[in-house]
Amino acid sequence: MTTDRPLLLLDVDGPLNPFRSRLAGLRGYTSHRMRPAVWMSYRSPDSRSARRGLKVRLHPSHGARLLDLPFDLAWATTWMNEANTMVAPHIGLPGDLPFIEWPELFARDPDGLSWKTRPLLAWAAGRPFAWVDDMINARDRAWVAAHHPAPALLLRIHPRHGLRDRDFTALGSWADGISTGGR
């Protein structure tokens, strides 16, 4: 990772995998069956759903579009390193992106923050970052604004839509704005 570019912290389910979309196939997404460890941990190994795997919809152009943005990419997902082996090849991302290793998945936060917010800020270590996730809320935005010393963009992505053109535009504009001194 270089240190002169902001981080782009990527969630898989919601932003890259619009799991609530009924029309993802019509918008260029392709379906894949995968068995990420965290998803499998909630299923009996002999169950039908475990045998079939999780249906994951990914857009093959998203990797190139993400790589074109002026960010250092990292995974901020329950998939952790499995995003490198299961997701990255389908969208054209390198298979060695850094990832956040969560201390505890789905931990209840006493202030109503996303369970990812505090560990994500610790991992960012004061660097500017954009975080794309379907679980971001207003409390997360306020807490990050009060506790993070660098610019941060928390971009909530609806799990019915996934990343859209306007999201790529917003990310690029935000990164350009902080590189010219805007916050």
Which pLDDT tens digit goes with each residue over 12-61?
Answer: 999 999 999 988 888 899 999 999 988 988 899 888 988 898 999 999 99
Q: Domain range holding 141?
A: 7-18+60-179
d(CA 64, CA 94): 10
pLDDT above 50 (res 1): no
**CATH number for the domain that contains residue 154:** 3.40.50
Query: Is 80 a domain residue?
Result: yes
Taking residues 152-166, what's their average pLDDT?
97
Query: Is 100 a domain residue?
Result: yes
Query: Is 52 a domain residue?
Result: no
Number of domains making up the chain: 1
Query: Is 31 a domain residue?
Result: no
pTM for the predicted model, two decimal places:
0.93
- End-to-end Cα distance, the chain: 22
**Residue 176, both tokens:** 């350009």
Q: Which of 155, 30, 15, 28 has its CA nearest to residue 90?
A: 30
Query: Is 116 a domain residue?
Result: yes
CA distances from 84 to 87, 133, 135 (A): 6, 17, 21
